[in-house]
Amino acid sequence: MLRLFKKNKKTVFNRLYESYCDQLFLLVLRYVVSQFDAEEILQRGFIKIYEALDNFKFKNEKATLGWLNQIMVNESLLFLREQKRLTLANEGEFQDLSILQTPEIENKLELESCLKLVRSLPDGYRTVFNLYVIEGYSHKEIAKKLNISESASRSQLSRARNTLKIQLKSTNYAAKYVGCYFYKKPQKSK
């Protein structure tokens, strides 16, 4: 890939598009439900990528993918804000949903089923859930990125988890998602 960067911008762009388009499309689909919206975001993201190629310094494949992912996540968030669909509940409105937490059965969901459940969340819940659980951002980073408080980020994540738990319970699945628990395991009493 390093040799490609020494060639022209169009060749590099085409190679990035061919190599990462499908993967980035799936990333965007975690933030928006509509395939049409995801295609729009993907197009915007690749325009940004093309414009930024002059300043991009290739290090390795992993760093390149991280850079591409960051652009697509930012474009997804921008799109949701523009559509006024990224509405996050105020932290003061949070209800204690701990009564919904029950011991879970340890089953694994198929990836497609997991993604379908996550995509069914309201935009605000889904956005914070994706940033925290899947992308690995801290609540502090999410708060800065979304211009909300850290406690609002925690509240949105808690609401997303509880919503998912209700959905999982109704489909008789356990609350385990790709190696990460949606909920805390109950503590064994001594």
The CATH class that applies to domain 91-181 reads: mainly alpha
Q: What does the DSSP 8-state code read for residue 91?
A: G
Same topology, domains 2-82 and 91-181? Answer is no
DSSP codes, 135-151? S---HHHHHHHHT--HH
Closest CA relative to residue 77, chosen from 161, 162, 17, 142: 142
CB neighbour list of residue 140: distance below 8 Å, 6 or more residues apart: 150
Q: Is the pTM of this model over 0.75?
A: no
The predicted-structure confidence for 66-83, as pLDDT tens digits, reads as follows: 999 999 999 998 898 887
Task: Please count the other Cβ atoms lying within 10 Å of the Cβ belonging to residue 155.
Answer: 24
- What CATH number should be reported for the domain whose range is 2-82? 1.10.1740.10
Query: For tokens 């390795």, what's the residue?
Result: 60
CB neighbour list of residue 57: distance below 8 Å, 6 or more residues apart: none
What's residue 169's pLDDT?
Answer: 76
The domain spans of the chain are: 2-82, 91-181
What's residue 158's pLDDT?
Answer: 92
Low-confidence ranges of the chain (pLDDT < 50): 1-2, 89-109, 174-190
The predicted-structure confidence for 95-121, as pLDDT tens digits, reads as follows: 333 333 333 333 344 666 777 888 888
What's residue 25's pLDDT?
Answer: 93
Torsion of Cα atoms, 137 then 92 then 85 then 166, to 10°: 80
State how far the Cα of 148 lies from the Cα of 154, in Å rounded to an integer: 10
